[in-house]
Structure 1
Amino acid sequence: MMKQSAPLPTPASQQRLALLIEAEAMQLGEFLALLEREEGMLVNGDTDALLGIAKIKNERYRELQRLHDERARLLGGMGHSVSDASIRSICTGLPRVLARWDEVLELARSARARNEINGKLILERMAHNQAALSVLLAAADQAPLYDADGHTRTVGGGRILGSA
């Protein structure tokens, strides 16, 4: 039994794939720049601005997912799997599209690595904050060393034994 090969791509389907690859490259470039900004904020301790970045990051991620899904539907409709080999097969003879696809793959690798670094930075910041919070909570459990007038109090305060 011979395996049927996928039908030859039409110029319109090749063009559509090329446009999707171009859009994905642009979105990945913007996503990577956003991750770099996020890393700078994490390193500098500018945690207040991270909420805004997180919102934009989620929007960019959803757009990248939409482009990926659209590319998967196009490839499936052409009888191809969602793979590097399929794209290279469909884009044979289109060196600029293949170069842009290589760029998409490299940008995706860079974004994944940068996101992992940022995740580690976030975990470090959280661990530091947790340690500081533990110190503050432990201090809150201690009796105050000063009274309301600023005079020192003995720790253990309370009544003297035998007094009523």
Structure 2
Amino acid sequence: MQSLGIGLGESLAEEYKAAQSLLDLLRQEQAFLIAADVDGLARLTEEKAGIAARMSALSSQRHRALAEAGVEATEPGMHAWANGTDAPADVRETWNGLLMLAQSAKELNRVNGMLINQHMARNQNALNVLHAAAQGGNFYGPDGQSTTKLGGRRLAAG
């Protein structure tokens, strides 16, 4: 099974680089979300999709290599093999590093999701206020008196 490690090592190194790129993009995404930079977020979308597709292809390649070597073609199978005695040390290190990157990306993605939800809630509240104002209809009733309601909700920018 030593031959599995040779080809898999190169593939894992590529997968590690792709995961690092994804992590960098998630950090940029977080900065854009905090700054409410919609244009910046839009620029990241295509790049993120490309990296995700690349990572998916590399993962499939890894699973095929494992299956061909008679190792369970799953993440637990890879983990067991990489941390066993048959795997070269560099493959073990790269695999464990890849798992750490994946955990960091998962956490960044969770936080980014929370930031997105906050933006969406704020936008929905603003739309609700505008919609309620628009539902008021005429500003003057049939008697010529103002029908505009005083009070209501205030919007805070930022």
TM-score interval (norm. to shorter): 0.7 to 0.9
Q: State the structure with more CA Rg.
A: 1
Change (3 A) 1:139 1:57: same
2:42: which partner in 1? 51
Alpha-carbon deviation of 1:58?
1.2
Query: Aligned pair 1:113/2:107, yes or no?
Result: yes
**TM-score, with length taken from structure 1:** 0.78
| Aligned 8 A contact 2:12 2:95 in 1 | yes
2:80 pairs, out of 78, 85, 89, with: 85
Runs of at least 4 residues off by over 6 Å:
none
Alpha-carbon deviation of 1:87?
2.5
Alpha-carbon deviation of 1:50?
1.4
Query: Aligned pair 1:29/2:20, yes or no?
Result: yes
| Aligned 8 A contact 1:91 1:98 in 2 | no
Aligned residues: percent identity?
29
Alpha-carbon deviation of 1:97?
2.2
The 2-side partners of 1:138 and 1:85 are apart by 59
Task: Structure 2: state its 5+ residue gaps.
Answer: 149-158
Query: How large is the RMSD of aligned CA atoms in angstroms?
Result: 2.0
- Of the structure 1 ranges 137-146 and 24-33, higher mean CA displacement relative to structure 2 is found in 137-146
Alpha-carbon deviation of 1:56?
1.3
2:89 pairs, out of 78, 91, 95, with: 95
**TM-score, with length taken from structure 2:** 0.81
| Aligned 8 A contact 1:14 1:90 in 2 | no
Alpha-carbon deviation of 1:57?
1.1
